[in-house]
Amino acid sequence: MSCMIFDHRISVNEVVSIKCNTLNKEDDYSRYIVSWRLCTGMAAKDVSDTLHDALKVASLERKQRPRLLSDNGPCYISGELKNWIKEHDMDHTRGKPYHPMTQGEIERWHRTMKDKILLDNYYQPGDLECQLGEFITNYNTRRYHESLNNLTPEDVWLGRGQSILEQRRKTKENTMKLRKQLYRKQKAA
């Protein structure tokens, strides 16, 4: 993702274009963005730092370690990342080359993020990061997903999805009973 930002250390007349990359770690089941970073490069160190953050957020024990699903970018096929993954008892699966459907959920997320983020210009280095943070918070906590039974990723990630669906079922059942009663009263009158 490319963006235009001003470098505050140089004169206001000079605009610097910086290529920004987002590294995101998404839970494949809930679509919850567990961890993210805004980086100027895509090094194996950036990926391992983001993975480390994701493991801390998920607070998984070693025997529960997730499997990393990635594309075949240079940072994902490096020996440095391979060693890091081995040290942390994780598995790594790479998608088939030229087959973006393997990572369909995260690819769709990137498209949604770009559609929103690229609408604005960012004049300070922190502006883009702040806007990304707001977008991710909104995506995780307020944006309902039809594929998740109209739950938010956070609801599924935290395990409260079933109770919400049960509450909705009860509300619908009560509403239907009330509508039948009102219809019968209206019909009788």
Q: In this predicted model, what pLDDT tens digit does every residue of 124-182 receive, in sequence order?
A: 778 888 999 999 999 999 999 999 999 999 999 999 999 999 999 999 999 999 999 99
User: What is residue 19's predicted lDDT score, i.e. its pLDDT?
Assistant: 61
* Cα–Cα dist 30/133, whole Å: 19
User: What is residue 86's predicted lDDT score, i.e. its pLDDT?
Assistant: 92
Mean pLDDT calculated for residue range 43-65: 84
Mean pLDDT calculated for residue range 47-64: 83
* Cα–Cα dist 108/155, whole Å: 20
Question: How far apart are the two ends of the chain, measured CA to CA in Å?
Answer: 64
What is the enclosing helix (H) or strand (E) of 39? Answer: strand 33-39
Q: How many CB atoms lie within 10 A of CB 102?
A: 15
DSSP code, position 18: E
**Percentage of the residues of the chain whose pLDDT score is greater than 70:** 88
Q: What are phi and psi of 188, to 5 degrees?
A: -75, -25
Are 20 and 3 spatial neighbours (Cβ–Cβ below 8 Å)?
yes
Are 89 and 62 spatial neighbours (Cβ–Cβ below 8 Å)?
yes
142: three-class secondary structure by DSSP = coil
Whether the predicted model's global pTM rises above the 0.85 cut: no
